[in-house]
Amino acid sequence: MKRAWMPLYVGDYLGDTGHLTTAQHGAYLLLMMHYWRKGELPDDDRQLSKIAKLPLKTWSNYRPVLQQFFHSGWKHKRIDAELERVMRVSEKRATAGQKGGLGSALSRLKLENSARGRSLPPAIALQKPSKTQANVDHSHSHSHQTLSLKGDQTSCARSDTAPGAAKDSKSIPVSAELAALIARKTT
């Protein structure tokens, strides 16, 4: 995980470091930033002097003062706690993102399934044709959209057959809106 920024509690920092010189502040802050990014500090004076950007002799003089901010070698209690908190927040966000993604995928799947085997909404399905509508000449053919599933390819086509009389058993009647959406996605 990339940690682009770290929290710095200014009041706590200044309260704990009031005795440091300007150069010691710089060295301590550089050690803290390295620790934040890497999760640890090496237990080697040459490497620590390079991290603090100090000559080895100067580092050797500052080391006893700076070592007081660390425990068990070069472990930093406050940074370890903050790193743990950041990891917990990151894990929670990742879990929430996965749940959201799964919910979105499930919604899309339900939409696709309802489009394949959809039935008329109850308000439309319950309507019965009136006697006037029943006597209207229906000798013309109705054109319907069908969705053909062939291997990995999906295509929409118009046919002049009645719904349910599709020639290919893998053809599914679809709405004009869904056919337009599929056409946009496949081109």
Question: Are 100 and 17 found together in one domain?
Answer: yes
In a domain, 136, yes or no: no
In a domain, 173, yes or no: yes
pLDDT of residue 73: 86
**Residue ranges of the chain with pLDDT lower than 70?**
1, 118-172, 174, 185-187
Question: Are 103 and 152 found together in one domain?
Answer: no
pLDDT of residue 120: 45
pLDDT in tens, 44-94: 999 999 999 999 999 999 999 999 999 998 999 999 999 999 888 878 888
Question: Are 51 and 109 found together in one domain?
Answer: yes
**β-pair partners for 173:** 146
pLDDT of residue 172: 66
Question: Are 22 and 97 found together in one domain?
Answer: yes
| Count of domains forming the chain | 2
In a domain, 125, yes or no: no
> Which residue range is the domain that position 58 belongs to?
1-115
pLDDT of residue 154: 47
Last residue of a domain, one of 115, 131, 159: 115
Cβ-contact 53, 27 below 8 angstroms: yes
In a domain, 130, yes or no: no
Q: Give CA–CA dist 156/168, Å, rounded.
A: 13
pLDDT of residue 170: 57
Question: Are 16 and 67 found together in one domain?
Answer: yes
Question: Are 111 and 152 found together in one domain?
Answer: no
Q: Give CA–CA dist 24/54, Å, rounded.
A: 10
Contacts (Cβ under 8 Å, ≥6 apart) of 67: 74
23 is written with which tokens? 């150069």
Q: Give CA–CA dist 35/127, Å, rounded.
A: 72
pTM exceeds 0.75, yes or no: no
Question: Are 106 and 152 found together in one domain?
Answer: no
pLDDT of residue 132: 52
Q: Give the other-Cβ count within 10 Å of 48's Cβ.
A: 24
Question: Are 93 and 153 found together in one domain?
Answer: no
Residue 90, phi then psi, degrees to nearest 5: -60, -40
Question: Are 91 and 147 found together in one domain?
Answer: no
In a domain, 153, yes or no: yes
